[in-house]
Structure 1
Amino acid sequence: MASMITCTAWVPRGYAAPFPTKYNFDEEEFERIAAMAKLQLDDAREDLEEAEAEAEAEAEGEEAESGKSGSKKSKKDKKKSKDSKDDNDDDSASDIEIDEDLKEYDLEHYDDDDDGDGQPMAMFGNIKSLAYYESNDDDPYITLKDDPEDEDEEREDLQILATDNLVLAAKVEDELAHLEVYVYEDAVDNLYVHHDIMLPAIPLCVEWLDIAVSKPNVDKDAPANFVAIGTFDPDIEIWDLDTIDCMYPNAILGQGGSGDNNADEGDKKKKKKKKKKSKKANDEYHVDAVLALAANRKHRNLLASGSADKTIKLWDLNTTKCAKSYTYHTDKVCSLAWHGVESTVLLSGSYDRTAAIADMRAPGDQPLRVGVESDVEQVRWDPHDPNYLYVSTERGVIHLFDARAASKDPAASKTVWKLQAHDESVSSFDLNTVIPGFLATGSTDRTVKLWNITAEGPSMVVSRDFDVGKVFSTTFAPDKEVAFRLAVAGSKGTVSIWDTSTNPGVRKAFGQRVPTRPEGEDVEDRLVALDDDESSSSDEEEGDEDGEGSSGEGSQGGDAMDED
C-alpha cells in the first residue's frame, strides 16, 4: 500500500504546551494499560473460541453424514496415526544429543508452560516485575549518565512557541497507520514532524479537542490539547497531544473502552458477552467504521460521531459514554458540523444523498433535510452567515442551501445555487472563518480551487495542482494571523501549506484584507512542505508566473453554475 494522508486538522495557536512532557510509565499507568489490553485479549480469546466451536460443529456434521461406521473407522485411524506420531516423536527426541555446555540451560524444556510460581508470559505480563527508576542516575545498570547539555538541547528541540501552529495529519504508510503531529512555523516558512501516534487501523477522520479527557488531577474547564481519531475500527481513540511516546490512548469511546468502573467483574463479563454477540447498530457504541467527528466548541464535553453503521452518536467526554444515539439516516453518515450559533443543532451528511439539520435535544423529532444528486462527501455551515449551509458531492458539485427553506421532504429542497466545481468528487472543502466568501475545494481530480463567493454567486480565483496526488483534505488555518494559510494533503502522503495571499488573483479578490504592500513589490510564492517534497515547487512557481494556470477572478468553475 502506498503512503497517503486521509485527513488533516489545525490546532489553534496557544493551546499546545511549550514543552510537551515525556510519557511516564508508572504503577498507575501500568494498571490502566493492563486493563485496556485485557479487554482486547478477551475479545481475541472469545473470537478464537467461537471460531473453534463453529469448526467443531461443522466437523461433527460432516462425520454424521458419512455414517457411523465411517466415523468410527476414521476415529480409529486418527488415533492410530496419533499414537504412531507420538512414538516417532519420542524416538526422534531420544536421538538428539545435547551439548554438555548447554545442558545447564535445559533448552529442551524451554517452550514448556510454567506451572510453578513464575509469572506467565502474556501481553504486558512481565512488565510489572521489571524495575524502573525516576531518573537514569538512579539506575545502577546505566553507567553513562545523562548529560545536562544534551537534555537541554533535546528539550529545546521539542519546544513549541506561542506563534507556532500544530497540523495533525492522519497517515497510512505501507501497512502502518499513525497520526503525524507537525509544527508549522509561519515566520520562517518551516514545517516539520514533532512526534507521531501509532494507530490500530486506517484513520478516516480527526478532530481536535480543547478539553482534557480521562486525565486525573486536571481541571476539566481548563483549556487542553487533545485529539479524537476515527478509524476503520468502530472505536474512537482520544490522545493527549502534549505527551509524546504514549503507549495507549487516554480514552476509547466505544465497545473497546474500559466499561463501567463501578460494576463488579461478573456484571462486566455478562455485559461484555452480551455486546459481543450483537453486531447490529445499537444505542451504546458504533459497530462499523467511524467516518466523521465534530466537537462542540460551546458545550466542550460533547463530541458527535457519524459511522458506516448509519447512526450518529453523541458522546459525553467527561464520562466517555454515549449520551444519545440517532438513526435518521438510511445510509453511511460521512460528515458532521455543529451550528455556529445554535449550539445544539447538528448538520449531517450521508450517502443516502441528503443532509439533515437536527436539534440534538429532540431525538424523537424528524430532522429537516435537503437533497442532492449523488452521495454527500462533506457538509459545512457558513461561518459568517449561519442561515446557509454548503454540501459537496461525489459528482464534483457544491450546493448552497438556505436552512430556513429546508423541510422534512428532501425532494422539495431548493438550492440558492449549485456549482460544478470539479470533474470528479469534491472530497474536501473549507470556508475561511476570518475572510467572508473565501472557499477552497479539493478533489480527486488532483486540483485545489479557490473561490470568491459574492451575492451574485461563486467565481473561481485560482486552480492549482500541488502534486499531493488525489486531494483528500483542504483546511484553512484557524487563527487570524495565518488566515490565508491553506493545508493540502492527499494520496501521495505529503502535506503542503500554501500562503494564498501570495497569489495575485487572491490579492485582487480579497485585497481589502491583505496587508498593504509597496507598489511594484514582487511577492514570492510561499508553499511550505517537508524537505523531501519540495522538488515540485519549481514547476508550480512557473505556473504562478503565468497567472496560476486557470486563475482569474470572474471565471466560472467547472462546466456550469445554476441559480434557482
Structure 2
Amino acid sequence: MISATTWVPQGFAAEFPSRYEMDDEEVDRISKLAQLRLDDALEDLEEATEQLENAGTDEEQEEEIIVDTVPDEDVVTALKEEAALQETEIDDDLKEYDLENYDNEPETDKQSLSMFSNIKNLAYYKSNDEDPYIILPKNEEGEVIDDLDEEEREELQILDSDSLLLVAKTEDNLSHVDVYVYETSEANLYVHHDILLPSFPLCVEWLDIRVGRSRTEENQQGNFVAIGTFEPNIEIWNLDVVDEMYPDAILGNSETKDKSPKKSKKGKKKSKKPEKRKANDEYHVDAVLALSSNRQHRNLLASGSADRTVKLWDLNSTKCVRSYSFHDDKVCSLAWHPEEGSVLLTGAYDRTVIASDMRLAPENHRRWGVDADVESAKWDPHNSNFFYVTTESGKVFYLDARTAPSSPRDAKSVWTLQAHDSEVTSFDVNKFVPGLIATGSTDQHVKLWNITPSGPSLQSSRDMGVGKVFSVSWLPDKDSARHLAVGGSNGVIQVWDTKTNDSVRAEADGEDEGDSDDEE
C-alpha cells in the first residue's frame, strides 16, 4: 500500500545525483548509528526473554512435545529405503557422462594449430594510448570516458523541468520510499531510486535545507526527505545520493534513553513486562504520524506523534528544542502558517484543532472542536486567516482562525461540506489555483471541489484504481499546478492531469483568458 506522498519542486534536485561512497568517516558515522539500533534490539530481546521466562512450560507439555517429535520406526525405515533407491537411480543416470575422466585432456597432434599458437608474431603495446588503432573518447581534462559510466550518468540525470514525487510504500512486509521522476511535458512517471526503511512509513516531508550543517555556512540549500514511521524515530535522507545505506540523521535516536535492566529489591530482574516509556521532552516514544517543515524558519521541523506530543526539531543540531502536550490523543496532522512562521496548526484524534503561537504559553492557544477524529488540517494559502479540517465522518470544515470559541464545543465553521460517506483520509489545497481542493477517501474516490464565496461545489469525482485513497497531493509548480498525485491501498501511484476533465478545463481556460486580459 501507499501511505503517503509529497512532491519536490522543480530545480532543487541535483542534475546528476551521486553514488553512495563508503569512506572512513562514513564507516564511523554508520557504526554509531548501528550501535544505537543494536542497543534498541538488545532491549527488545531482553523484554522478550523476560516474557518467555515468565510464561514457563509445565512437565505435561514437555512430555507431549517429546512424544510428538519422535518419529515412528516404520516411517524411518521407509524413508531410508526411498533415499537409497534415489541414490542408485542418480548413479545410473550419470554413468553415461563418464564424469570421473571429465578433466583429462584427450591426446592431440603436437603440430595442430591452437587459438594462441601464433601469439609471438602479434604486435602488442604497453598501453591503449600507444596503440594507433584504439581511439577512446576523452573529456576536456583528457580523461578517458567510460561508455558505461556515461550511460549510467544519463540514466541518473534529472532535468530542471522534471519534478520528483516521493512515495512511501509497503509491499510484502518491505517498506521503502520510492523517488519518482515525473516528466510533465510527456506525462512520464518512473522510479529513479528508492530508500529502504526499517519500519512502516506513515508520513514524508520534503526539506530544502542541508541537515546537520552549521548556521554560518553560506550554501544551506539541500534536497532531503524526513520520514516518520511506526518507530518513534524520524529518519532524514539525502535525495541527491543514490543507494545510500544509512540516513544522514536520525531525530530522536537519543543515547540518553535508559536501557539498564530494572531489578527488584532482591536483585533479580522483574518478570513483568517492562512498562512503556513515558512521553518526554527529548524524543518521541511512539509512532510519528505527522511532519511539517517551516518554510520561513527553514531549520525547524515539527513532528506529531501517537504519544500525544508535538515536538520542534532543529535541523542544524538534529536535536529537539521544544516539546508540547496540547492534545489528549494521538496528534495526526500538522501545518505551519504560510505567513506567520511561529504559528502551527495541529489536529488530533481528540476531535480538536489548535492554532498555536509557539512563543506563547499554552493557555493562549486557540482551540476548535469538530464532530469526529481529525484526519488532516491545512491553512488556506490564498487567505491565511482561514483553514480547512477534514474528519473521520467524511466532512470538510472551513474555519476562521480569528474567531476562536470560548469552548471547543461552541466552534462554528464558515461552511461545512459532506465530501464523502466515509472518512476523508487525504486532502490538499492547490497553491496556485484559488478555490481548488482535492479530497480522497476510503470509498476509493477522489473528488475535486471549487470553493466560491457562496460555498463549495463538486467539479469532478473519479475512481483512480488505487483502492482506498490514502494520499492526494498537488504538484507545487505553477506551470503544472493541476497535476494531482494519488496513492492508496493497492500500492499504485497515479498522476491525474485534471485539465483532462471538461469542467476543470473550462474553468482553467476562463482563468487563462482573465490573466491575459490583466496583462494587456
TM range (shorter): 0.7 to 0.9
Residue of structure 2 equivalent to 1:28: 25
Q: In the alignment, does 2:10 pair up with 1:19? A: no
Gaps of 5+ in 1: 67-145, 260-267, 517-564
Task: Specify which of 138, 146, 149 is matched with residue 148 of structure 1.
Answer: 146
The change in CA–CA distance for 1:274 and 1:364 in structure 2 (over 3 A counts) is farther
Residue of structure 2 equivalent to 1:407: 405
Aligned partner letter, 1:155:
R
Q: In the alignment, does 2:186 pair up with 1:205? A: no
Q: Deviations over 1:425-444 (max 9, x none)?
A: 11111111011101111111
In 2, distance between residues paired with 1:218 and 1:19? Answer: 27
Question: Does the CA contact (< 8 Å) of 1:212 and 1:220 recur in 2?
Answer: no
In 2, distance between residues paired with 1:181 and 1:218? Answer: 30
Residue of structure 2 equivalent to 1:38: 35
In 1, distance between residues paired with 2:470 and 2:362? Answer: 35
In 1, distance between residues paired with 2:442 and 2:146? Answer: 50
The change in CA–CA distance for 1:401 and 1:35 in structure 2 (over 3 A counts) is same
Q: In the alignment, does 2:484 pair up with 1:460? A: no
Q: Number of aligned pairs?
A: 420
SS in 1 for 2:363: coil
Residue of structure 2 equivalent to 1:539: none
Residue of structure 1 equivalent to 2:238: 240
SS in 1 for 2:354: strand
In 1, distance between residues paired with 2:157 and 2:198? Answer: 28
Q: Deviations over 1:428-485 (max 9, x none)?
A: 1111101110111111101111111000000001111111111111111111111111
The change in CA–CA distance for 1:494 and 1:443 in structure 2 (over 3 A counts) is same
Matches within 5 A, 1:343-358: 343-358=341-356
Matches within 5 A, 1:33-432: 33-52=30-49, 148-214=146-212, 219=217, 221-254=219-252, 256-257=253-254, 259=255, 273=260, 279-432=277-430
Question: Does the CA contact (< 8 Å) of 2:214 and 2:316 recur in 1?
Answer: no
Aligned partner letter, 2:9:
P
Gaps of 5+ in 2: 60-143, 263-273, 515-520
Question: Does the CA contact (< 8 Å) of 1:214 and 1:318 recur in 2?
Answer: yes
In 2, distance between residues paired with 1:47 and 1:437? Answer: 49
TM-aligned CA deviation for residue 511 of structure 1: 2.9
RMSD (CA atoms): 2.4
TM-aligned CA deviation for residue 508 of structure 1: 2.5
In 2, distance between residues paired with 1:305 and 1:367? Answer: 18
Aligned identity (percent) is 57
Aligned partner letter, 2:360:
A
SS in 2 for 1:187: coil
Residue of structure 1 equivalent to 2:108: none
Question: Does the CA contact (< 8 Å) of 1:367 and 1:408 recur in 2?
Answer: no
Question: Does the CA contact (< 8 Å) of 1:306 and 1:333 recur in 2?
Answer: yes
The change in CA–CA distance for 1:7 and 1:218 in structure 2 (over 3 A counts) is farther
The change in CA–CA distance for 1:315 and 1:272 in structure 2 (over 3 A counts) is farther
SS in 2 for 1:365: helix
Q: Deviations over 1:196-249 (max 9, x none)?
A: 000011100000000111368994753110000001111000000000101100
Question: Does the CA contact (< 8 Å) of 1:435 and 1:513 recur in 2?
Answer: no
SS in 1 for 2:185: helix
Aligned partner letter, 1:35:
K
In 1, distance between residues paired with 2:283 and 2:492? Answer: 33
Q: Deviations over 1:382-435 (max 9, x none)?
A: 000001110001111000001111135211110101000111111111111011
Q: Deviations over 1:341-384 (max 9, x none)?
A: 11100001110011111111124434211111111100010000
Q: Deviations over 1:27-69 (max 9, x none)?
A: 110111111111111222233345445655777xx99xx9xxx
The change in CA–CA distance for 1:54 and 1:450 in structure 2 (over 3 A counts) is closer
Aligned partner letter, 1:405:
T
Aligned partner letter, 2:319:
K
Residue of structure 2 equivalent to 1:438: 436
Question: Does the CA contact (< 8 Å) of 1:335 and 1:377 recur in 2?
Answer: yes
The change in CA–CA distance for 1:203 and 1:388 in structure 2 (over 3 A counts) is same
Q: In the alignment, does 2:12 pair up with 1:10? A: no
Q: Deviations over 1:55-113 (max 9, x none)?
A: 55777xx99xx9xxxxxxxxxxxxxxxxxxxxxxxxxxxxxxxxxxxxxxxxxxxxxxx
Question: Does the CA contact (< 8 Å) of 1:215 and 1:250 recur in 2?
Answer: no
SS in 2 for 1:188: coil
The change in CA–CA distance for 1:389 and 1:148 in structure 2 (over 3 A counts) is same
Residue of structure 1 equivalent to 2:101: none
In 1, distance between residues paired with 2:261 and 2:225? Answer: 30
Question: Does the CA contact (< 8 Å) of 1:238 and 1:251 recur in 2?
Answer: yes
Aligned partner letter, 2:425:
S
TM-aligned CA deviation for residue 188 of structure 1: 1.4
Aligned partner letter, 2:460:
V
SS in 2 for 1:329: coil
Aligned partner letter, 1:186:
T
The change in CA–CA distance for 1:313 and 1:363 in structure 2 (over 3 A counts) is farther
Question: Does the CA contact (< 8 Å) of 2:213 and 2:316 recur in 1?
Answer: no
Residue of structure 1 equivalent to 2:474: 476
Computing the radius of gyration over CA atoms, which structure comes out larger, 1 or 2? Answer: 2
In 1, distance between residues paired with 2:454 and 2:219? Answer: 44
Residue of structure 1 equivalent to 2:111: none
The change in CA–CA distance for 1:51 and 1:451 in structure 2 (over 3 A counts) is closer
The change in CA–CA distance for 1:250 and 1:175 in structure 2 (over 3 A counts) is same
In 1, distance between residues paired with 2:171 and 2:439? Answer: 25
In 2, distance between residues paired with 1:376 and 1:34? Answer: 40
Residue of structure 2 equivalent to 1:530: none
Question: Does the CA contact (< 8 Å) of 2:328 and 2:350 recur in 1?
Answer: yes
